[in-house]
Amino acid sequence: MNKRHIRALAVFGIAVVALTGARGSGGGGCDNHSSSGSSSSSSSSGGSGTHHDNDDNGSTSGGSVPGGSSSANQALRDITIDKCAYDAATKNLTAKITIKNDGVLDYDYDVTLKFKGTSAVSATATTTDVAVAAGASKSVDVATAYPGTGDGSEYTKCEVTRASRS
């Protein structure tokens, strides 16, 4: 095999890795239950984009979210939901998220979370203009008023429904 063939194979290999977005997502499955017992990351029915969710109130969720190459999909991949819970002291549904900017540019992120569960009413929380420097991570608390009258246990799921970066 001559140098030209080897070079062509190397370029092809790099192109495949770049196009598939290989980022060490922790495996090819949809559930991460085997790693921590209480977290999950599930894909949306839309195809190339996916979202984070948290099925257990007050538990943690880890890993990255695979997506396509658009800015919105990249923003989704940069977000991890660390915790979703009801805060009895403030009567708010809260989530702690971590935004990891692996890029070479600084970005401002806008994130919308939805709290769902057995309640007929879903609750939405939004945070905007979260500045994350290139190569850095930032943890943010996101909260919204609890729309119910109980103890918040009916909200069992937390997911990123929209994310963008600019």
Edge-to-edge strands of the sheet including 137-145?
79-87, 92-100, 137-145
State how many domains the chain has: 1
Does residue 18 sit within a domain?
no
The answer on pLDDT for 67 being more than 90 is: no
pLDDT the model gives residue 69: 53
Query: How far apart (Å, rounded) are the C-alpha atoms in residues 13 and 69?
Result: 18
Q: Which domain holds residue 82?
A: 39-165
CATH code (residue 72) = 2.60.40
Does residue 115 sit within a domain?
yes
In the three-class reduction of DSSP (H, G, I as helix; E, B as strand; rest coil), residue 58 is classed as coil
Does residue 59 sit within a domain?
yes
The answer on pLDDT for 56 being more than 90 is: no
Does residue 28 sit within a domain?
no
Count the residues in the chain. Answer: 166
The answer on pLDDT for 31 being more than 70 is: no
